[in-house]
């Protein structure tokens, strides 16, 4: 699972959605699947818009260009209780922590990848004795050496991230339960 999560954020997808859309957690994976099938030509036809002010849902925005994490515009109900506020703020803190980790991680990845490609191409060109132009790109096998080394070098930080991510998300369960029970009780009192 560690490699799968890391690989998703390292590679991401080339799709850039330029509008906010309401996506329930249950439909997020379905949205990702259908969104990745959009061609680059169609991306330029999507108009930018922002969530309306009178929304009653959280809105998920386009992926960040560096971290590949989608920003979330959290809905703040006008009658938000202190419990709901604490829970929302805690979710925002976890999102911010996640964003910062992947932003730094992916910057490091791009930096090391660039350095690896430059040095490997320089070595290939120096030893090139064939006819025609010297190599301009690396093969998938040559790049796999870099990917493996990068994952191995960052293994401890990925383990740390996974442990922290689980801790932070599990710590949200109790407040989420409290908020949902509180909302349920409000609805019962109204009816």
pLDDT tens by residue, 158-189: 999 999 999 999 999 999 999 999 999 999 99
The residue with greater pLDDT, 161 or 58, is 161
Measured between alpha carbons, how far is 187 from 189 in angstroms, rounded to an integer?
5
SS3 56: coil
Place of tokens 């379905």: 30
pLDDT at position 41: 42
Place of tokens 């976890």: 94
What is the CA 33 to chain-centroid distance, rounded?
A: 14
Measured between alpha carbons, how far is 92 from 73 in angstroms, rounded to an integer?
9
H-helix or E-strand containing 73?
strand 72-73
Q: What is the pTM of this model?
A: 0.69
Q: Which of 23-32, 87-96, 114-123, 157-166 has the lowest mean pLDDT?
A: 23-32
Backbone angles phi and psi of 125, in degrees to 5: -65, -35
Confidence of residue 5 (pLDDT cuts 50, 70, 90): very low
Going from the C-alpha of 139 to that of each of 117, 120, 146, 159, the distances in angstroms are: 10, 11, 11, 29
Question: Do residues 21 and 59 touch, judged by C-beta distance below 8 A?
Answer: yes
What is the CA 130 to chain-centroid distance, rounded?
A: 43
What is the CA 21 to chain-centroid distance, rounded?
A: 16
């Amino acid at each position: 699972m560690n490699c799968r999560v890391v690989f998703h954020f390292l590679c991401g997808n080339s799709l850039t959605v330029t509008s906010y859309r309401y996506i329930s957690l249950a439909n997020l994976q379905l949205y990702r699947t259908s969104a990745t099938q959009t061609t680059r030509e169609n991306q330029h036809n999507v108009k930018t818009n922002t969530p309306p002010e009178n929304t009653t849902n959280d809105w998920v925005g386009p992926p960040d260009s560096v971290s590949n994490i989608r920003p979330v515009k959290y809905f703040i109900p006008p009658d938000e209780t202190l419990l709901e506020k604490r829970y929302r703020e805690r979710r925002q803190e976890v999102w911010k922590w996640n964003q910062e980790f992947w932003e730094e991680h992916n910057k490091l990845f791009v930096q090391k990848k660039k350095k690896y490609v430059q040095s490997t191409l320089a070595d290939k060109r120096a030893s090139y004795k064939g006819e025609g132009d010297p190599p301009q790109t690396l093969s998938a096998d040559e790049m796999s050496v870099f990917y493996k080394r990068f994952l191995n070098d960052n293994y401890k930080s990925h383990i740390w991230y996974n442990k922290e991510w689980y801790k932070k998300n599990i710590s949200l369960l109790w407040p989420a339960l409290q908020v949902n029970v509180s909302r349920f009780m409000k609805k019962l009192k109204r009816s």
